[in-house]
Amino acid sequence: MTLKDKKILITGAHGFLGSHLVKNLKEARGVQGKQLFLPRANEYDLRTWERCKEVVKRQDVVIHLAANVGGIGYNREKPGELFYDNLIMGAQMMEAARLAGVEKFVAIGTICAYPKFTPVPFKEDDLWKGYPEETNAPYGLAKKMMLVQAQAYRAQYGWNAIYLLPVNLYGPGDNFDPKSSHVIPALIKKVAEAKRDHAPHINAWGTGNATREFLFVEDAAEGIARATERYDKPEPVNLGSGMEISVKDLVVLIARFMNYRGGIRWDASKPDGQPRRMLDTTRAAKEFGFRAKTNFEDGLRKTIEWYLAHGLQT
């Protein structure tokens, strides 16, 4: 599929990942702005069936990024909203796109769909071998239903819907709101504020023993674009970098990069989340030639620089 010849709807286009995907399509693939439909959430509530039908009209490709998403604290606070919002948006968008004759639907899932104790590295064939980690299971399962729907629609209607599983993302433009941010932006903000206030330590959730894999947002955008162009099969595909770091080591690294010399206090009463996360990225490399390019430390420095440059620590 040559994207520069297609009309493309991107839900969630004004969010963190969406803004980088739009940039990738324009700069790397020659997609013109007039080909892109980038609806805003305050104008088109995709939990409403009529809005879903409106946005898919006359589109060739739908890339569904829109989600209600956040870190562990946000998932614990709003499990019902996260389940309903993501389930209903995914189901309605896919059905509306099918009825409208959309050529291809790209569903963006989540690493949270994997079982809590998935063998590392996570392989796509292990998706159904257990229940997700409890704190984000409602979100993970809601997003996972798009895989079921995509495969069901392919089986019954011969419709081309694919499902991608990106790992935890980070990079410039991330969400640094402490109420809903993920681990890297949350820690960057904590360290910046502790340094500003000359605080002797920062407080971090959990034990620090959990591990995570991170994918730079620009690499994620490239992976999604490549899959949209080149992948047309029913099997889900991981998008990751193949690295793994403990949260404890991550905090130390961020503190060092930001020249913070205070201590770290771990609050073991708070959850760690899933014990380990690292993806097997073989399928993405084989099927559409995707491999992450950004070294983690380089990407982390860029993220910190962006945060500091935008004055979010004041």
Q: Which residues are catalytic?
A: 139
Please, are residues 8 and 61 in contact by the beta-carbon 8 Å criterion? yes
* Crossing angle of the two packed helices 247-257 and 183-196, in degrees rounded to 10: 40
* Alpha helix (H) residue ranges in the chain: 16-29, 49-56, 72-77, 79-99, 137-157, 183-196, 217-230, 247-257, 282-288, 296-309
- The first and second tokens of residue 15, run together, are 């969010």
Please, are residues 134 and 116 in contact by the beta-carbon 8 Å criterion? yes
Task: List 62's β-bridge partners, or say none.
Answer: 9, 105
Q: Tell me which residue has tokens 């995707």.
A: 290
Q: Tell me which residue has tokens 């930001």.
A: 258
What is the dihedral angle through the alpha carbons of 69, 231, 148, 51, rounded to the nearest 10 degrees? 60
Task: List 122's β-bridge partners, or say none.
Answer: 279
Strands 161-166 and 237-239: parallel
